[in-house]
A and B are shown apart, each in its own frame.
Chain A
Amino acid sequence: MSKRILIVEDQEDLRAILRDYLAASGYIVIESVNGADSVTKAASERPDLVLMDIQLPVLDGYDATRQIKALPGFAAIPIIAVSSFAMKGDEEKARGAGCDDYVTKPYGPVQLMRIIRGFLGDQL
């Protein structure tokens, strides 16, 4: 059964790039455009992994991550932070909020896919 990935990204193009690549790689993609919506979607769609932009409207990626990780059964669901910040403190902040990994923009989709597959234990 195909694994499900929740993409939380407010920029339409960046979301489309991730969606197209993940879908072409055989994943089922669920999309969300803000932090608050991502928590609702996570609860209803039960994704296997979350790609979380940090700079998000409504609720930022740190808070959204905390809320998703607090949902029943979500502690072990990997959340990968995707950020435009390249400051050391920001990675610590993301990990402190519960993110399992941290990628800075601009990332190559291929590089990101390697990380995703690593977490999902899928064939590289």
Chain B
Amino acid sequence: MSHELRTPLAAVLGYAELLQEGIYGALPEKSLPILTRIRSNGNHLLSLINTVLDISKIEAGQFKLNVAEYALGSIVETVMVATESVAATKKLAFKTDVAKELSYGLGDEQRLTQVLLNLVGNAIKFTDAGEVRITAGATNGHFTVSVSDTGPGIPPEECEHIFEKFRQVDSSNTRAKGGTGLGLAIAREIVEMHGGRIWVESTLGQGSTFRMDLPVRAPITPGAA
């Protein structure tokens, strides 16, 4: 299924990139930013497809972890590199605070990266001024990871529901801020499959902190879920 959905989109994105590279000849100057838009919309669609595929796998009970050794610090690094330019565009300060000498974790690095990317992406999206901060440490055989922002905060009655599918604090935000309302539901699934938990602490008007507590060694057999 995933192959069938992604291949035509890969073709659209590939041809757009070649057009922009001038492989098919010089294009009018004005068409170049349009190709940039085609590509950024295509990449957005690709991430939506990936999200919907993840949810359908979860619902079918076919969501599997690819378990191996990972370094939490390098997950934070990957997420920072992927998001710092967006934070900079919004003039947000981006800070990371990773404890030194963390031991290697056992889990699905790619999926955990996806979780952190989702949390940081949300924090940047909903924060208009101030900072976004990732902290990572370890206590008692558990990694503790948090993503805090200085955004609008989440009403207390929403904090427990925000990890449910299609849940967004303000549905008018769906259009203004984008998103499917599925990212946090997938994040919770991934964290719980690792034997961990995820929650949010928030004060309206002051910001939110999403916290994860993950066993350093996920209680699952390597290579399988």
Chain A contact residues, CB within 8 Å of chain B: 11, 13-14, 17, 20-21, 24, 55, 84, 86-89, 105-106, 108-110
Q: Kindly provide the distance from the CB of A86 to the nearest chain B CB, expressed in whole angstroms.
A: 7
> How many Å from the CB of B225 to the closest CB on chain A?
12
By the criterion CB–CB under 8 Å, are B6 and A109 in contact? no
Majority SS at the chain A contact face: helix
Are B24 and A86 touching (Cβ within 8 A)?
Answer: no
A13 cross-chain contacts in B, Cβ below 8 A: 7-8, 11, 14-15
Q: Mark B1-45, 1 if CB is under 8 A from A, else 0.
A: 011001111110111011001011000000000000000000000
Does any Cβ of A come within 8 Å of B85's Cβ?
Answer: no
Q: Given A13-B14, A17-B11, A89-B223, are A106 and B66 neighbors across the interface (CB < 8 Å)?
A: no
Check A11/B11 contact, CB under 8 A, given A89-B66, A89-B223, A106-B6: yes
A109:B21 contact, CB within 8 angstroms = yes
Contact indicator A84/B23 (Cβ below 8 Å): no
Chain A residues near B15: list those with CB within 8 A: 13, 17
Q: Which 5 interchain pairs have the tightest Cβ spacing?
A: A13-B11, A106-B10, A17-B14, A24-B23, A84-B3
A13 to B21 CA separation, bound complex (whole angstroms)? 17
Q: Do the beta carbons of B110 and A20 come within 8 Å of each other?
A: no
Taking the complex as formed, is B129 at the interface, i.e. its CB lies under 8 A from any CB of chain A? no
Interface contact B7-A21, CB-CB below 8 Å: no
Residues of chain B contacted by A88 (CB below 8 angstroms): 66, 68, 109-110
In the assembled complex, which residues on chain A have CB atoms less than 8 Å from the CB atom of B109? 88
CA distance A24 to B15 in the complex (A): 13
Q: What chain A residues lie within 8 Å of B9 (beta carbons)?
A: 106
- Max count, chain B CB within 10 A of own CB: residue among A17, A21, A55: A17
Residues on B with C-beta less than 8 A from A108 are 13-14, 17
Cα-based distance from A74 to B2 in the complex (angstroms): 33
A–B Cβ pairs within 8 angstroms, 30 of them? A11-B7, A13-B11, A14-B10, A14-B11, A14-B14, A17-B11, A17-B14, A20-B23, A21-B18, A84-B2, A84-B3, A84-B7, A88-B66, A88-B109, A88-B110, A89-B66, A105-B6, A105-B7, A105-B10, A106-B6, A106-B9, A106-B10, A106-B14, A108-B14, A108-B17, A109-B17, A109-B18, A109-B21, A110-B17, A110-B21
